[in-house]
Amino acid sequence: GAGVSQSPSNKVTEKGKDVELRCDPISGHTALYWYRQSLGQGLEFLIYFQGNSAPDKSGLPSDRFSAERTGGSVSTLTIQRTQQEDSAVYLCASSQDSAIYGYTFGSGTRLTVV
């Protein structure tokens, strides 16, 4: 597509439930990134996929968080047993081979855990 598409745009879930957030990157972009932005905070790196290489999961805050990227395109970020501190905007970005030219971000998914 023309831009990075994320769905849903908003998600309200009960504490303890699992959620899945979806990201559809720009066609042809081999790199895909997930970041988390808590209220009034900066961008916290979560996970990075590049082509067929093993993902860089160094930013995932706990084992409740996981992500996969199928067929080198769409990615799903899964949060299991959600906690209130998981409430944040989850941003997905994609880039061509290297990040040197910057990322293109989606509009994010605002997750609220009640």
Nearer of residues 100 and 114 to other proteins, judged by Cβ? 100
Find residue 5's DSSP bridge partners. Answer: 24
Residue 108 has a CB neighbour count (10 Å cut-off) of: 20
Rounded Cα gap, residues 7 and 109, in angstroms? 6
Residue in 18, 45, 81, 112 binding other proteins, rule: CB under 8 A = 45
* Shortest distance in whole angstroms from residue 56 CB to other proteins: 7
99 counts as binding other proteins under rule CB under 8 A: yes
Nearer of residues 38 and 81 to other proteins, judged by Cβ? 38
